[in-house]
Amino acid sequence: MSNYVIGVIGGDGIGPEVVAEGLKVLDAAGVGMDTVPYDLGGARYLRDGTVLPDEVLAEWRGMDALYLGAVGTPDVPPGVIERGLLLRMRFELNLYVNRRPFRAPDGSHDFEVIRENTEGTYAGEGGFLRKHTPAEVATQGSVNTRFGVERCVRYAFELARNRPGRHLTLVHKTNVLTFAGDLWQRTFSEVAREYPEVATAYNHVDAACIYFVENPKSYDVIVTDNLFGDILTDLGGAVSGGIGLAASANLNPDRTGPSMFEPVHGSAPDIVGTGRANPTAAILSAAMMVEFLGETEAARRILAACADPTTQTGTTTQIGDAIAKRV
């Protein structure tokens, strides 16, 4: 195995705890790593106002991958860390695909959500008029480009083509969001002609929320925009065993820089140090990281260990130890 240079951002709350278990499992799997720790997140911001220095971003560009635990603390105003760290990472490093796999608790079915990660309502278009007055107006636009939509849709078709189900569902709200939805629908239909072996479907996002709960087996791969993907993937985590099992990858499929891997859950400051944080999501994210780096056998063994029910009881470190031993 190669010796990969991995930037590690433990972050806030339980982030450092679960990341430590992920690194432990990677070591047990024989993945050669040189890890570079970074002190970033809500606690760092409260200490000295740092969010994401330009020099750190420059260092990251030369690394193989980034591994993040969780960031955010209640004392930091909303949007400071999310936009200044997480979204800036996605935009600056061109992490335009957010990939989140889900598995039913009984292991009978799995599906994946591909979320466009750099556009939509998270692009930051909008503003205020007459702020802090009774006549205040706030607008928040959704930015969708043919380029951005197509590269995400194409990634989803490639993924679907290589899965046994060979099925891809577009999720949007085309009956109301008639401009953004039209662009997504037309792009999806046009790219679909290049993949005749992939069956396709469309669901409104509200209907998809129902199907996630009542019939998740109807899905194989889903592709959707930034906001809808954010909401659906949290729901996916809830219906597939809990947010503590939900992993994610923020991918630069063109490999012009590092991709970033993180569990979906938050920093959970209320359970820091209690041993109650399940590290499985962080460990599964680590498996996605090494798979993306080409270490497919190590990733396969980590996934198998996480799926073993005997590894899923105990404290944070006990679960990590059990998975590392099973690997």
Check whether 104 has a pLDDT greater than 90.
no
Partner residues linked to 128 by β-bridges: 138
Q: Which residues contact 11 (CB under 8 A, 6 or more apart)?
A: 19, 40, 41, 42, 68, 69, 70, 71, 72, 267
Chain mean position to CA 186: 26
pLDDT in tens, 135-152: 999 999 999 999 999 999
The DSSP letter of residue 77 is P
Residues composing the chain: 327
The pTM of the full predicted model, rounded to 2 decimals, is 0.94
Residues 132 and 147: their CA atoms lie apart, in Å, by 37
E strand or H helix that includes residue 67:
strand 65-70
Give the tokens for residue 84. 């200044």
Residue 82 CB burial class (10 angstroms; 0-12, 13-18, ≥19): middle
Tokens of 325: 């031993």
The CA dihedral of 221, 226, 190, 166, to the nearest 10 degrees, is: 0
Residue 245 is predicted with a pLDDT of 85
Give the mean pLDDT of 294-303: 96
Q: How open is the CA angle 22-26-28, to the nearest 5 degrees?
A: 115
Query: pLDDT at position 153, please?
Result: 98
Give pLDDT, residue 243.
77
Average pLDDT over residues 70-84: 94
What amino acid positions are annotated as catalytic residues?
122, 173, 206, 230, 234
CA atoms of 280 and 60, how far apart (whole Å): 25
Mean pLDDT throughout 211-222?
A: 93
Cα(270)–Cα(274) distance, integer angstroms = 9
Question: What confidence category does residue 228 fall into, taking pLDDT thresholds of 50, 70 and 90?
Answer: very high
DSSP-assigned letter for residue 33: E
Instruction: Tell me the pLDDT tens digit for each residue of 25-51.
Output: 999 999 999 999 999 999 999 999 999
Mean pLDDT score across all residues of the chain: 95
Q: Rounded mean pLDDT of 161-166?
A: 96
Percent share of the chain, pLDDT over 70: 98
